[in-house]
Structure 1
Amino acid sequence: MFLEGTILRGPRFDPVEGRVVVEDGEIAAIEEATVDSDDVVLPAFVNAHTHVGDSIAKEAGEGLSLEELVAPPDGLKHRLLRSTPREEKIAAMRRSAQFMQSTGTASFLEFREGGVEGVYALREAVDGLDVDPVILGRETVDAMEAAEGFGASGANDGDFSRERSATERAGKLFGIHAGEADASDVNPALDLSPDFLVHVVHPEPLHLDRIEDSEVPVVVCPRSNLVTDVGLPPVRDLLDRTTVALGTDNVMLNSPSMFREMEFTAKLTDASAREVLRMATLNGARVAGLDCGVVEEGRDAKLLVLDGDSDNLAGYRNVVRAVVRRAGADDVKDVVL
């Protein structure tokens, strides 16, 4: 198969007119040519941090603090997860996964509550879909062994050294929340030598130096941070020091839309449009260990096609800026996963 239009090629998303040739799920060629298409072809998104179990409780918890909303074991989300029947949780997670797939997300990196059973429930929820979760189990080493790694809540919530050692022996991912409410858990999180940190809203200069020295990636979730009133992450400082990816966090708080996350990040930080698009694609793929997130020959063909002549996008002068700051679900013409 081939896709024609303006192709956002390579890690800089250089716009070239032509076609992408796809063979056996791989980008076989990118051919520059004059084509009769207004489509925009770009890499599909990688949502680098989600909690899709929260799909059972969208917009619950108005007025609650971050701790009251999500802190284990008795935050609102955890109480609701315990009280909701398994079938209802699976159905809700499937609806969120379907939404992500339809809006151009190839994969999402999920911190999955519920131990081993939580991992199995998400696998059941996405069965038959093309969106591919990278699941990090929580709560037990057994959950990590059933998943692609372990997702820790935060260093102030417990000692995760056993789980970190187990993931390292298994060659799996270890991610941990850090610096969300304050700076107190950033150093202990870095002491675990994680594969990535999530949030990092409140890093101190020493933390930024350690992040840079250890080359640990950071996943930021600006919409979530604003909803929970903890502030915005210092995206520019982080981009200047390490790989930064973008996630939508709890479905309880925000839709799992990478379009909305990109627009929000671009308009409320000083990251450039290219940097934000890279955060939503290639950098997320790097954090998750995936071979997608960029339109290059030999890469997995995880691609998103936008209608460049939609009422919303027609007349754009800067295609990358239009994709990041303006595009949305209604502009999606095709998703190739």
Structure 2
Amino acid sequence: MNDSLNGKIKDCIVLAGPDLEPRECQAFEYESGIITRMDLGQPASTPVGAKQVIIPGLVNGHTHVGDAFLADVATNMTLAEAFFRPNGFKYRALSQISPDDHVAHMTEFLRGMASSGTIAHFDFREQGVEGCHRLRKASTDSGVRSIILSQLNHSPFSESELSEATLPLPESTRAEITKLLEVADGFSESTMNDLTDHGWVEIREMAKAAGKTCAVHCLEDASYRATSIKRTGRGDLERAIELLDPDLIIHLTVANDDEIELLAKSGIPAVINPRANASLGLPLPPIARLLRAGVPLLIGTDNGILNGPNLFAEMDFTYRLARSQAGTNDPVQPLEILRMTTSNLKKTRWRDELPGQLAIGLPATFAIVDFSTPWLATSRNLHAALVTRVTPADIQRTVRSGRTIYSSSPST
């Protein structure tokens, strides 16, 4: 990493402000990690030509980087076989890898994020306090900001106890959560079906008191809803909004119209993971309906087992899927997808650290894309090119708060 927090880029194109408006820019400067100058000129949406394009640093809305050392092992496994605690393949493998090897694998995976323009990610980190420490080390070594949302090592309730809504968390579990919240950025138990209603309320209050965030997977497949209804009479999304009031809700692959309306009214941002869902043979999220209902959306690559850290591939897949779902009457635009990795961050509680936009006075957190290649230089729509044509090979530099965390040129 380059530790200089100052820099100047001349004669470029900048995606300016929350609307990510492409503008000619004579000089883009930053000092002490803050943008100090953006000499913006005419709109530059078409044609792009061969200039450098400065975009906000991308944020990956949902990852599990701890299992990246198991790439493609789940190719022929079901969701439960690969990922469900306690006997899913990944949990057995995580218990066997040495801490040093594990940190090394996660560090390289995060460096892969940086090389594809990503500056931060929200990670559902397994292995309790120890898992948090491992990822924090990898984050420090790579320069990519890891927002660590930890989970319990073991479920505190038996199958029969999970139907008892008023059953509180055991004191040992409360003590474990207290320790997790001291080292993690928040809490992220896998599904609402892992705990009782009373237990979720306790976690919400503990996280709020500690100033930490909460997130949960919902509606990844129909069994999440069915199990929740069988035990409590309510679906998992309804319980999540009522009991946990999370900062992020993940997946929603089988969300119906009533659930989408409920989520939209709550204002809670959601993270979709279309490539991961497709890789597991699950339904694909109703992206177009979520967008048109006004749900704030982010995109995640999900498990390292299933995907590399390339958000450009995720945006490409998401755009084409959403476009197909919406049809031609109200087509989804590339800009709507690009916002899911950038300016939609302003709708989360992380908007101060991760504003997802470029403006004077904000952190100098950006990526430089080389548009001189034949497949980019002739583009007539910059947003479309960024979403459907750019690859990690086109990234020249990734900068977080003024510090270069990736450069295609060793001298930079």
Could you tell me whether the CA contact under 8 Å between 2:122 and 2:148 is conserved in 1? yes
**1:158-237 equivalent positions in 2, closer than 5 A:** 158-159=195-196, 160-182=200-222, 184=225, 185-191=236-242, 192-237=244-289
**TM-score (norm. length: structure 2):** 0.78
**1:6-155 equivalent positions in 2, closer than 5 A:** 6-18=13-25, 19-33=27-41, 38-139=51-152, 140-141=176-177, 142-155=179-192
Query: Per-residue CA shift, 1:249-285, capped at 9, x if unaligned?
Result: 0010011111111111111112321011100112246
**TM superposition shift of 1:37:** 6.7
Could you tell me whether the CA contact under 8 Å between 2:368 and 2:397 is conserved in 1? yes
**TM superposition shift of 1:127:** 2.3
Task: Name which of structure 1's ranges 105-114 and 131-140 shifts more when overlaid on structure 2.
Answer: 131-140
Query: Per-residue CA shift, 1:208-242, capped at 9, x if unaligned?
Result: 22212211110111100111111111112222322
The structure, 1 or 2, with the larger RCO (C-alpha pairs under 8 Å, 6+ apart) is 2
Could you tell me whether the CA contact under 8 Å between 2:34 and 2:363 is conserved in 1? yes
Instruction: Read off the aligned partner of 2:309 and give its amino acid letter.
Output: P
**TM superposition shift of 1:33:** 4.6
Query: Per-residue CA shift, 1:184-231, capped at 9, x if unaligned?
Result: 022222222111100011112222222122111101111001111111
Number of residues of Structure 1 aligned to a counterpart in Structure 2: 337
**TM superposition shift of 1:8:** 1.1
Instruction: Read off the aligned partner of 1:214 and give its amino acid letter.
Output: S
**TM-score (norm. length: structure 1):** 0.95
Distance 1:292 1:156 in 2: 33
Could you tell me whether the CA contact under 8 Å between 2:50 and 2:370 is conserved in 1? no
Distance 1:215 1:98 in 2: 33
Distance 1:320 1:110 in 2: 27
Q: CA RMSD in A?
A: 1.8
| Residue number in structure 2 paired with 1:335 | 398
Gaps in structure 1 of 5+ consecutive residues: none
Query: Per-residue CA shift, 1:281-308, capped at 9, x if unaligned?
Result: 1224643603331112221111110111
Distance 1:272 1:155 in 2: 33
**1:217-296 equivalent positions in 2, closer than 5 A:** 217-240=269-292, 241-270=294-323, 271-284=332-345, 286-287=347-348, 289=350, 290-296=353-359
Instruction: Please state whether the residue corresponding to 1:309 is helix, strand or coil.
Output: coil
Task: Name which of structure 1's ranges 125-134 and 254-263 shifts more when overlaid on structure 2.
Answer: 125-134
Gaps in structure 2 of 5+ consecutive residues: 1-6, 153-175, 226-235, 324-331, 401-412
Could you tell me whether the CA contact under 8 Å between 1:211 and 1:242 is conserved in 2? yes
**TM superposition shift of 1:136:** 0.8
Could you tell me whether the CA contact under 8 Å between 2:122 and 2:146 is conserved in 1? yes
